[in-house]
Structure 1
């Protein structure tokens, strides 16, 4: 089996039907685990977004500051709106 082959792929050239079925089952289980592992996928997405935000802040500090202010204002407005609805 090639080391650069993802664990969700079935290697080519397997002639034994039992070995091929095992390889297909292993690949299917790996694909299901990859798809269903939401915490790991969230960590990967958060890490990617953090790297992209840091690169953007490095390249455009004024734009990053404006984006941070916009996010803070938006979150504040949402919290204020929810509090106002609850207070009624």
Structure 2
């Protein structure tokens, strides 16, 4: 469970829910195969596809010190028809 940070709920991800696609921020070192197995076992669903991308880092400045914000890898999980994740149920 420590590899999945949290689900993402934005306007775009809510539109993706209609296509049976769910978006999560995951650990930087997570792979698509690991996430597919974890989602299938944890939520008891069938995964059709996994897409991932890494968000660009944002600069943070506190006085003279320049740093970067923490960033995660974002994965879009597409489920087989007939399956859904109860965490996002529309009912």
Determine if the TM-score, normalized by the shorter chain, exceeds 0.5: no
TM-score by length of 2: 0.20
Q: Which has the higher helix share?
A: 1
Kindly name which structure, 1 or 2, has the bigger radius of gyration based on alpha carbons: 1
TM-score by length of 1: 0.21
Q: Which has the higher strand share?
A: 2
